[in-house]
Amino acid sequence: MYDSVIFDHDGVLTTLVDLSPLRDATWDAFAELGVSDPDPDHVEQVVIHVSPEDVRAAAEPYDIDPETLFRVRDERQSAAQRRAIADGRKVPYDDFDALRRIDAPMGIVSSNQQATIDFVVDHLDATDLFGTAYGREPSMTSLHRKKPEPYYLERAMADLGVESPLFVGDSDSDIAAAEAAGVDSAFIRRGHRADHTPTPDPTHEIAGLDDLLELDGVPVVGDASAASGPAADGGREGGESSR
């Protein structure tokens, strides 16, 4: 029996945002730092899937501190995503309410910004659902900690006081982070992953959040075995802790 369920965010709980707001936000970050006409390749280098080397390479030609560039880029991108959430361009998937039938502590572990994740949880009025919710802090250190590293997943497990979660994600980095943490994974095959072959192999593959309710080991409201099991009793206590 899983003692908790932890989720990635983008493409799992909420729809993906178009890249154009993120790209515009990155251009704005350069402008804020006094670079009015950066090389488009340098901008593109730090829009998504960013490494520390990418940030340093984009900052060096303009004599910008890489840490400052990354912080401003993160702040600008988070603001753009929060606007997309507030005005309905980024929304929860139709099956989001299936989570309310899961009878175990739940959390979020995302490679998005912490400010973005906090806004999403509040906007969805879902603070009662998630005992902990992690995004990245706006520093280059977070780039060494994000998935596929298990750092944030292990912190979420510690917050919830659990040992055997199921981690639900839509990317190879999610599955790899679960494997690195020694826990089971579920690959969710949303539309944007229709033709993707996940690597490494996930423990489960699901089409949507409703499918979680049918997986062996996921405690569901009304399931007598879940209600009486030790994982349910201990996990519920852990779920009341805050991040």
Token pair for 221: 């409201």
Token pair for 215: 């997986």
DSSP string, 147-209: TTSSHHHHHHHHHHT-SSEEEEESSHHHHHHHHHHT-EEEEE--GGGTT---SS--SEEESSG
Query: Which of 89, 109, 83 minimizes the C-alpha distance to 162?
Result: 109
**Spatial strand order in the sheet of 106-113:** 130-136, 106-113, 4-7, 165-169, 184-188, 204-206
pLDDT of 224 reads: 55
Query: Could you give the C-alpha distances from 122 to 82, 116, 119, 172, 194, in angstroms and in order?
Result: 11, 10, 5, 28, 30
Q: How many CB atoms lie within 10 A of CB 178?
A: 29
pLDDT of 94 reads: 97
pLDDT of 235 reads: 34
Q: How far is CA 54 from the centre of its chain?
A: 21
pLDDT of 14 reads: 97
pLDDT of 221 reads: 93
Provide the residue-wise pLDDT of the chain in tens; the chain has 243 residues: 999 999 999 999 999 988 999 999 999 999 999 999 999 999 999 999 999 999 999 999 999 999 999 999 999 999 999 999 999 999 999 999 999 999 999 999 999 999 999 999 999 999 999 999 999 999 999 999 999 999 999 999 999 999 999 999 999 999 999 999 999 999 999 999 999 999 999 999 999 999 999 999 999 998 755 444 433 343 333 333 323
pTM of the model as a whole: 0.90
pLDDT of 236 reads: 30
- Select the CATH number that applies to the domain covering 4-15+92-214 from these four: 3.40.50.2020, 3.30.1010.10, 3.40.50.1000, 3.40.50.2300: 3.40.50.1000
Coil/strand/helix, residue 98:
helix
Which residue shows structure tokens 């298990």? 150
In the chain, where the domains are located? 4-15+92-214, 19-87
